Amino acid sequence: MGAGPSRGRLVQNPKRIECLLADVREDIERTVGKLALPEVARGPVLAAASPGKMLRSWLLLAVAEALDKARPSHRLVSTSLELVHSASLLHDDVVDEAESRRGRPTLRARLGNIGAVLAGDLLVSTALEGVASLNLPRLDEFFASRIRTMCEGELKHEFASFEEDSADRRYMDVIRKKTGGLFSLAAAAPAIMQESDEDAIESLDKAGETIGVAYQLFDDLADLLLDGEELGKDSANDLNRAKPTLPLIRLARLKEMPLCDLALSAADPKTVTDLRREAAAANIIDEIIEEAQQLIAEASTGLESMELRFNPVTLFVGTQLAAYTERLHAFGEEMAASG
């Protein structure tokens, strides 16, 4: 892969990527359908493994198209990536004691914590088996390492302290691992598969990680601001569990109270609304959106020196994150106006 910047890049039609994603959905359903599951668990596991927005696969296929062309092997890796992501959500729901996700009861709500954990383990092992079938040792190593990175981030998020002055930086470090890990895998995998040079792989790895961090900041804001129906899962779950996120860390600092006390005060729905208004009035919402947008710009600029058919980060953000960002910004303005 060349090192010089390309000119006159194509503007990729996202409809092709959407068609490829439809194939990945079918592959996921087929793969999970073949698993040796107890009959009582088959329906719930199939529903739980059904992918949502498929952002990571969208990014993977966009990068594959930008490098050359998405092939069946990219579909296979996308399927494995989505299985790992679904497994992480099953485990998240156990940790968060969540009752619903995407408008449906969680697997733990239907089969209990043990069933959800075991199903998640089964999905991860199935994903690793799928990637191994390509016989690409470098990809095997990278895939496994990013799963490990994600797990390290989850552990740090659950047990690290976020009360001190360095809480913002520590939280950003956590989400680089927790969320950035699978996004970096999505971005770098196509380059590894076509044996691109190390600079190209590193650039895509970094861009994917950075996009993952930006997305997590948007998701943290959504958890605080949006209601359960729009969110597709329990609303204000991070707040109710006193789970550190950047908006909650900054809200706690603003109110000069520990995060656990902030969570206790949120038992009253009116208090949650008041906290949303305070976050908007203190510019916490706008500041975090701006920080996420700066990260997106950094990720996009980081690929400018590569010879690509188009910039996959620009395409991904424009089609997958722009509306999300606008909704959060509009909600913040609504809260500020109502205060």
Write the DSSP assignment of 39-97 as a string of letters.
HHHHHHHHHHHS-SS-HHHHHHHHHHHHHS---HHHHHHHHHHHHHHHHHHHHHHHHHT
Task: Point out the least confidently predicted range of 153-162, 295-304, 312-321.
Answer: 153-162
329, two tokens: 């910004």
pLDDT digit string (tens) for 38-69? 888 888 888 888 878 899 999 999 999 999 99
**Contact yes or no for 152/174 (Cβ under 8 A):** no
Q: CA torsion, points 224, 226, 232, 235, in degrees to nearest 10?
A: 40
315, two tokens: 């395409």
- How far apart, in whole angstroms, are the C-alpha atoms of residue 142 and residue 69? 21
Single-letter amino acid, residue 249: I
Residues of the chain by 3-state class (helix, strand, coil), percent to 5: 75, 0, 25
In the chain, what are the domain boundaries?
14-338
Helix (H) or strand (E) holding 104: strand 104-105
pLDDT digit string (tens) for 89-120? 899 889 888 888 877 888 898 889 999 999 99
User: Which of these, 295, 282, 281, lies nearest to 325 by C-alpha position?
Assistant: 295
Three-state secondary-structure class, residue 224? helix
Under CATH, to which class is 14-338 assigned?
mainly alpha
Task: Tell me the average pLDDT of the chain.
Answer: 89
pLDDT digit string (tens) for 191-211? 999 999 999 999 999 999 999
- How far apart, in whole angstroms, are the C-alpha atoms of residue 199 and residue 314? 20
